[in-house]
Structure 1
């Protein structure tokens, strides 16, 4: 049974869960808008205008808002062909290296996105379309997802390194380790394989 999450991680999980639902809803609504656009063009030869622009914003925002939730669920893709061949302690070191690298990437990404947002605000930039949307609006929502992603990465890195230094390899695995086949099956309501093997 998993140990309870630290308080800040539990709060982060609640925030990221709300964010991923909102991001998903944006994408679903955009799919509906595109469907309406295609039907109107086909049947009435008219266009709502801006469906492609709004869908691009929704995809960018929805993607960034889902990253933190995926990080907490250990759902980001990892190349772990050799990972399963190591014992618990080397795995814990690799897990910590992976979360530190991911967090570093998130921070760099957030930093450069913040620069883009600041430039748009300074210039009063608007989209060069009929909608003429102030770009700070979609960019502000976009960077919010990266801020959540970075914050969760920092919190996870902190707790994973503490667990590693305390010699709690299993705790590291539950926080940031690559998910096993049994864990993935249990989330899907399936039965684990009889041999108890891990994903490789």
Structure 2
């Protein structure tokens, strides 16, 4: 389930910025060749960054990529590491919920006052802000799920697993992940003619 959500979020994230890159390229060409501007690339770029950031929050959480200041973490008693790892997930879930809660009022204000962007497009802000709110709600739900799992691990005595899943990533974890990714990519890559010839010669 986690891998499926992470994969689809990654696809959506990539498509957003692929479309933005195409738009910026088109804008650059027609400005240079025809001296005409679409007058919306900057606006769409801002929306893309806002929405993309909310997706990145969830992706970073599932990949344990959020920054943790762990200078003293490994030198603390094991029981204190467990408590801090548990509290870090709870605090992140609370913060994600707060962001989604406040964003809801921002969207409601834009809808009530019929706010529009200060650009030639005059886009009703309720639409891009609605997508932004949806991304924050997704982040809050993912964070709440992680907080629930961490709490279950904490109070069911599986604290070693709690540290493995929610503790700061060590250098060894990052190296192992890179090696596994490299191994997967190498196994999926087609054999080159030189590799086939070398294999035949060895046979």
2:177 corresponds to which residue? 187
Moved more, 128-137 or 113-122: 128-137
Partner Cα distance (2:128, 2:6) in 1 = 18
Residue 54 of structure 2 is aligned with which of 54, 58, 64?
64
3-state secondary structure, aligned to 1:189:
helix
Q: Residue 138 of structure 1 aligns with which residue?
A: 128
1:16 to partner: Cα distance: 4.2
Match of 1:104 among 84, 89, 94: 94
Query: RMSD between aligned alpha carbons?
Result: 1.9
- How many Å separate the matches in 1 of 2:11 and 2:50? 14
Deviation, 1:134, is: 1.9
- String of CA shifts for 1:64-121, please: whole Å, max 9, x gaps: 0121121111111111111121243221111011111111111111111111111112
CA distance in 2, matches of 1:37, 1:47: 6
Within 1, Cα distance between the matches of 2:180 and 2:76? 26
Report matched runs for 1:18-37 at 5 Å.
18-37=8-27
Matches of 1:81 and 1:170, distance apart in 2: 20
Unaligned stretches of 5+ in structure 1? 1-9, 192-200
Please give the alpha-carbon distance, in whole angstroms, between the structure 2 residues aligned to 1:17 and 1:169.
Answer: 28
Larger radius of gyration: 2
* Contact 1:126 1:132 (8 Å CA) reproduced: yes
| C-alpha distance in 2 between matches for 1:15 and 1:122 | 33
**Aligned pair count?**
181
Separation (CA, whole Å) in 2 of partners of 1:145 and 1:16: 13
- Higher helix proportion, which one? 2
1:17 aligns with 2:17: no
Choose which of 117, 120, 130 in structure 1 pairs with 2:107: 117
TM-score with structure 1 setting the length: 0.83
Q: Which residue of 2 aligns with 1:154?
A: 144
- Looking at structure 2, the residues matched to 43 and 185 of structure 1 have their Cα atoms a distance apart, in angstroms, of 47
Provide the TM-score with structure 2 as the length reference: 0.81
More relative contact order, 1 or 2 (CA 8 Å, 6+ apart): 1
In structure 1, the residue matched to 2:154 is: 164
> In structure 2, do the counterparts of structure 1 residues 16 and 120 end up closer, same or farther at CA, with 3 Å as the change threshold?
farther
Runs of 5+ unmatched residues, structure 2: 182-203
